[in-house]
A and B are shown apart, each in its own frame.
Chain A
Amino acid sequence: MPLESAIEVSNLTKYYGDLCAVDHVNFEVKKGEIFGFLGPNGAGKTTTIRMLTGISIPTEGTANIMGYDIQRHPIKAKEQMGIVPDVSNVYNELSAWDNLIFTGKLYDMPKTSRESRAEELLKMFGLYERRKEKVQGFSRGMKRRICIAMALMNRSGILFLDEPTSGLDVQSVLIIRDLIRNLNQQGLTIFLTTHNIDEASQMCDRVAIINHGKIVAIDTPEKLKRTLESLQSIEVAFETAPPNALKELEKLAEVSEVVKEGDKFRFFTRDPPTVLDSLWKYSQDNNLKLTTVNTVGPSLEDVFVKLTGIRPATAEEESGKSGRSEEQEMVHRRRKQ
């Protein structure tokens, strides 16, 4: 019977002294999935990935990679994977070409196949013309691409990516996300850790949310969102809102919370139709003109906040980091909605 699981994790635990960084974690990643591992900083994401890839030895529990136990059969398990860590750990003193060739040697690839694979990957990443240059002169995005190319050298079945787009410019982020999707379409299983909820929501087939070393939820992004019906919301903008609007709006029936977001008000409710009726009545009674009305389902960010109690970087902060334009941001938000 063919193996369906790419990764099987059972009771994986890591203690640092008395501190439990990862606490009896269980999950399974199916072949061909993009699996997101989401959590705030310090939740245990990197510790988990380090145990799965053989860098760190678990205190307890097992992890099977394509059927091979990483502790009992580390060589076989490591042959099945490529790893892109959170820091681009390339050899700055070597050229792009030599970085890839050295990786091929670590995987004991024959000379001809490592050279043809290195050429293929450098062309694919648009770095072939610069293959003879030392990597230390490359930009952060280029180093990231080299790092991913190194992880792809051995044509493995699983690619581990730890915060692959963190700190990159928008162009590099888009290139890398497209690349991950393409690799996945070619059959590669992707294990992606990220604290970027947008990224997880857009890219992952399933997501596990980890907090304080424990998995608090694991499902598809859409199913996770549906578990939080109470976080449905209505977004409303008035042409001119009265100064005391927030206090009055909080009193409307079936509204659990109102948040002012710029010139808009966001009403959290279990019952959007009733709130819409009340809002309509309120605007009529106060001679207010509604300019925008949107019903918004819970986002993965809402699920994350609800489960972890931690508010991650907002979309605005993320766009600030990524350099997204106002127009791109608008399109991006509409897509979210």
Chain B
Amino acid sequence: MMNAHSSHYSREIRVAWAIAVKDMRTYYTKPPSLMFGILFPFSLFLSFSIGTKAPLAAQIPILVSQTLFFASSSIGPVVIPTERANQTFDRFLTSPVSLLSILMGKTLAGIIYGAGISVIPVLVGMAFFGFQIISLGALFACFLLSSLAFSALGIMFASIPGQTPGQVMMPLNFVRIPLLFISGVYTPIRDLPTWMQAVSMLSPLTHTVELARYASGGETFFGPILNVTILTIYVATFLLMGIRFHIMNQRKE
């Protein structure tokens, strides 16, 4: 019985990984992935950072958080509507694999995309701009939990039954862009009014920014334990809601 279970789980993991690898090969270089995953966060960063007096090394946590946020959450909304339009998503649904594994494969593709892009500013910052990592554990937690939460957020939004990435990206951006302004990305949380600080605590991006700052020795408002806890709650929430919404879609099919 135990063997049957472990072989079932290992099979699901293998299939999820195969789906993730296929998505990486197929969708990472698609224009919407590049546009919303790379160009968008870098442009936003440049438009806000040019002219600020803060040293570049201090701004790297902001860029890392933004790329984690946008890149990780963009893969699901690019992949799933495109596959729905080509009916290749049906191929997964007719394969002997659970919906959970299909969505985990898609989530994994988002995690690797987000984390892979976000590690570049860290490495460039360390090599050329004196950026330092004080807590490798905090950086690891920041990358892992944030890319997982944001990728799951993208998968959850991809349950919107659209057939083009734009149909999912538009409502997703209604959530993503306002979060930039309440998450301490450009305005420190301590400078926000009290009610905004409470709202800010509810934003997952706040905790990504805080963990990235903490990892590089910067100040944090909520502290790493709360950051990790809240991000973990968001990971579970987005994953469960994403699966729930996709099952609801299947009922409507």
Contact = CB atoms under 8 A, between A and B. Distances in A.
Contact of A55 (B22, B90, B97): B90
A79 B26 CA distance: 26
B93 interface: yes
B25 A93 contact: yes
A12 interface: no
Given A55-B94, A57-B250, A78-B96, A94 B87 contact: no
B91 A56 contact: no
A108 B15 contact: yes
Interface string B67-104: 00000000000000000001110111111111000000
Interface in B87-146: 87-88, 90-98
Contact of A105 (B18, B25, B90): B18
Nearest to B93: A55
A114 to B, nearest CB: 11
B14 interface: yes
A53 interface: yes
B251 interface: yes
Interface string A72-90: 0011101101010101011
Residue with the greatest number of chain A CB neighbours at <10 A, chosen from B25, B88, B95, B97: B95
Nearest to B86: A89
B87 A89 contact: yes
- Interface majority SS (helix, strand, loop, mixed), chain B: helix
B26 A56 contact: no
A56 B15 contact: no
Residue with the greatest number of chain B CB neighbours at <10 A, chosen from A76, A107, A108: A108
Nearest to B91: A89
Given A54-B93, A83-B94, A89 B14 contact: no
Chain B interface extent, by class = 20 to 34
Nearest to A17: B252
Contacts of B191: none
A212 interface: no
A270 interface: no
A102 interface: yes
B251 A85 contact: no
A107 to B, nearest CB: 6
A56 B95 contact: no
Contacts of B26: 91, 93-94
A79 B96 contact: yes
B18 A106 contact: yes
Given A75-B96, A89-B86, A56 B250 contact: yes
Contacts of A150: 91
Contacts of B97: 75, 106
Given A56-B250, A94-B25, A85 B87 contact: yes
B88 A91 contact: yes
A87 B250 CA distance: 19
B96 A57 contact: no
Contacts of B96: 74-76, 78-79, 106-108
Contacts of B250: 55-57
Contact of B91 (A81, A93, A106): A106
Contacts of A94: 22, 25-26
Interface string B3-37: 00000000100110011001001100000000000
A226 interface: no
Contact of B11 (A50, A91, A108): A108
Nearest to A101: B18
Contacts of A79: 96
A197 B88 CA distance: 28
Contacts of B91: 89, 103, 106, 150
Contact of A106 (B86, B92, B252, B253): B92
B86 A92 contact: yes
Given A56-B253, A74-B96, A106-B18, 17 more contacts: A53-B93, A54-B94, A56-B250, A74-B98, A75-B97, A75-B98, A76-B96, A87-B86, A89-B87, A89-B88, A89-B90, A89-B91, A91-B22, A103-B91, A106-B15, A106-B97, A150-B91
